[in-house]
Amino acid sequence: MNILIRAKKEKVEHKLEKNLLKEYAGKIPEDLYCYWSGVHPKNNSVVYSYHHPKVMFTDGCTVYAEGEIIGVDDEEGLQFMPLKEVNYPQPKSAPTRGFTYVS
Write out the chain's pLDDT in tens, 103 residues: 899 999 999 999 999 999 999 999 989 998 999 999 877 666 555 565 567 889 999 999 999 999 999 888 888 888 999 999 999 999 998 888 878 888 8
- pLDDT for residue 60: 93
- pLDDT for residue 74: 80
3-state class (DSSP) for residue 13: helix
- pLDDT for residue 54: 93
- pLDDT for residue 20: 95
Q: Is 17 exposed, middle or buried (0-12, 13-18, 19+ CB in 10 A)?
A: middle
Q: Are strands 2-6 and 54-58 parallel, antiparallel or unpaired?
A: parallel
Q: What are the extents of the domains in the chain?
A: 2-102
Tell how many helices (H) and how many strands (E) occur in the chain. 3, 7
